[in-house]
Structure 1
Amino acid sequence: MHPAELLRQAGLKPYPLEALSGGEMGQVWRAGPYVVKTHPSPPTGLFRAEARGLWALAQAGVRVPQVYWASEAGLVLEYLPPGPPNWEGLARMLAALHRLRPPAYGWDEPVFLGSFALPEGTNLDWPRFWKEKRIRPLLEATWPALGTLGPRLEALLDQPLPQEGPTLLHGDLWQGNVWHTPDGPALLDPSVWWGERAVDLAMMTLFGGFPAEFWRLYRTLYPIPLEVERALPRYQVYYLLLHVHLFGPRYLPLLARTLEQA
């Protein structure tokens, strides 16, 4: 759907459109005080899931863009102007987020990692939930491309995982989904659900981008146990399987190296 039509449906006046970087998952425009997100063929529920995730993060005290309109065709969000990096503010915000303790693992609504749909539902058994509801769907989607890595991944699923308890996850927390504003850092493009904070930490360390000053304060506010640090490559597999599924075999070498670390 054309972004001007989304603004009309939302009851908002039109503005000149400026294309923004939307990554691989859709198209993004600035329209005056708004950001409009669309997709050429969005999976059912994709944009409504993002809107619910932004609302959940806002309720948890995280700065996010306000949602003005959400439909199957797209989103209309608040435009947040850029500001100076505030890594201290981000460390405090994420440490507070990760200290939340919801009652279970999972999510009661559909969850998307990028455009990949993941099963909804909750469970108190973290290893079982992680294996069956998060890794197994991605493993099945990528199996033909994995070759000898497939059986190695399956064997990894049966190894025990350290647990700190469920928290509210951003779910796709790389540097590109952090936006610094004049009022402090904000989070964008979430894949929100309740899980071990190691899921967020894994993405934060997979592609880099969070400087030492961030990590010093975050670790002071919420220390990371050694066993959790050592398990991060096993959680990074989650994101790398998605990259193999979406972008092809060029991510297989990184997946193989991550399996060696795991």
Structure 2
Amino acid sequence: MTSDALTPESSAEFDLIAAAIAGRTGIPFRPRAASPVGGGSIHRAWHIDDGSRHYFVKANALAAAPMFAAEAQGLQALSAAAVVPTPTFVTLGQTPTQAFLVLDYLDLSALDRAGGARLGAALAQLHRVSGDSFGWREDNFIGATPQFNAPHPGWPHFFGERRLRPQLQFALQNGVDKALVAKGYAIIERIGGLFIDYQPAPSLLHGDLWSGNAAQTREGTPVIFDPACYYGDRETDIAMAELFGGFPSSFFAAYRAAWPLDSGYETRKPLYNLYHILNHFNLFGSAYLGQAQRMIEGLLRELKR
């Protein structure tokens, strides 16, 4: 097998991964090539193949095993909804030094106008898959950060206590000024003010829908991946899709045509994106602190009106 800057370093590690693939599929698999795949900031990834079958492998230290298990569960939940295509889960496991996740490999490219429109319409259908309460069957991860999902019947309570409060606590541990964290806690105490005339249903969410987690196949079929699934307000997926850019305008237009957003969405959008900006601060450092501070101050002004 050939490799380009292959990590795990030894071919023996890939032999173990190949054996796991064969064990799950029931077909012998002897990879002849492994090519690194970029795009991720947390895990390492490769495209491996035997000339006819192609797989996508993600690997990290053994401590990452729960992250891969949660990702597999999320992909399977999205697949079961049968609305938006996802890479097919193959297997996961561990070598002596690595945890790994294996998916079917897809040759993907950035969403174009048509692909964006297809994804927007499909995402609206996905959001119509509803749960009994807000949350998920177990905790999972947003990036490498734990995401707490104990179910609750009330959305404002769930988002304040399961999303914002943990991120604020992590931020305090990571050196954020106590006064700013206290302002974040004040938002949680007043959060109901953003939901006076709005009661969202618990929609099945991707949960981490930035443009790097969506693409299209050569045939133009949209695909989503790297989920952080839970049942929540559908506005959160749209808010994050807007946060970092990268989605074609056709995506948003098609979504709104299929299921218009509530008139209060623009007011709640900073609340939902504060979760992700705090998470980026906790994962990647101070470059996101100023943005978090501006969002907190803006939300407090809105809640004092």
Paired amino acid for 1:251: Y
Paired amino acid for 2:212: G
Please give the alpha-carbon distance, in whole angstroms, between the structure 2 residues aligned to 1:227 and 1:31.
46
1:81 alignment counterpart? 107
1:60 alignment counterpart? 81
Paired amino acid for 1:150: V
1:157 alignment counterpart? 188
Q: Which secondary structure does the structure 1 equivalent of 2:227 belong to?
A: coil
Q: Choose 83-92 or 12-21, whichever is displaced more.
A: 83-92
1:45 alignment counterpart? 66
Q: Which secondary structure does the structure 2 equivalent of 1:168 belong to?
A: strand
Q: Against the structure 1 CA distance between its residues 4 and 180, is the aligned structure 2 distance closer, same or farther, given a 3 Å change threshold?
A: farther
Residue 258 of structure 1 deviates from its aligned partner by 2.3
The answer to whether the 8 Å contact 2:161/2:188 transfers is: no
The answer to whether the 8 Å contact 1:3/1:29 transfers is: no
Residue 126 of structure 1 deviates from its aligned partner by 1.4
Please give the alpha-carbon distance, in whole angstroms, between the structure 2 residues aligned to 1:106 and 1:132.
11
Encode CA deviations 1:99-132: one digit per residue, 9 max, x unaligned: 2221111111231111111224211121222122
* Long gaps (5+) in structure 1: none
2:218 alignment counterpart? 182
Please give the alpha-carbon distance, in whole angstroms, between the structure 2 residues aligned to 1:99 and 1:235.
19
Q: Choose 214-223 or 35-44, whichever is displaced more.
A: 35-44
Q: Which secondary structure does the structure 2 equivalent of 1:106 belong to?
A: coil
Residue 22 of structure 1 deviates from its aligned partner by 4.4
Encode CA deviations 1:140-198: one digit per residue, 9 max, x unaligned: 11114321321221111122143321100100000000021134010011101111112
1:125 aligns with 2:154: yes
Paired amino acid for 2:108: P
Q: Which secondary structure does the structure 2 equivalent of 1:121 belong to?
A: coil
Residue 42 of structure 1 deviates from its aligned partner by 3.2
For the aligned residues, what is the CA RMSD? 1.7
Residue 208 of structure 1 deviates from its aligned partner by 1.1
2:26 alignment counterpart? none
Encode CA deviations 1:74-103: one digit per residue, 9 max, x unaligned: 111011112563111111111111122211
Please give the alpha-carbon distance, in whole angstroms, between the structure 2 residues aligned to 1:251 and 1:3.
37
Please give the alpha-carbon distance, in whole angstroms, between the structure 1 residues aligned to 2:31 and 2:274.
43
Consecutive aligned runs of 4 or more in structure 1 exceeding 6 Å deviation: none
Please give the alpha-carbon distance, in whole angstroms, between the structure 2 residues aligned to 1:4 and 1:116.
30
How many residues are matched? 262
Residue 257 of structure 1 deviates from its aligned partner by 2.5
TM-score (norm 1): 0.93
* Long gaps (5+) in structure 2: 1-7, 23-28, 300-305
Please give the alpha-carbon distance, in whole angstroms, between the structure 1 residues aligned to 2:284 and 2:217.
31
1:107 alignment counterpart? 136
Please give the alpha-carbon distance, in whole angstroms, between the structure 2 residues aligned to 1:141 and 1:41.
23
- Percent identical among aligned pairs is 34
Residue 250 of structure 1 deviates from its aligned partner by 1.1
Q: Choose 11-20 or 237-246, whichever is displaced more.
A: 11-20
Residue 30 of structure 1 deviates from its aligned partner by 0.5
1:69 alignment counterpart? 91
Q: Against the structure 1 CA distance between its residues 185 and 30, is the aligned structure 2 distance closer, same or farther, given a 3 Å change threshold?
A: same
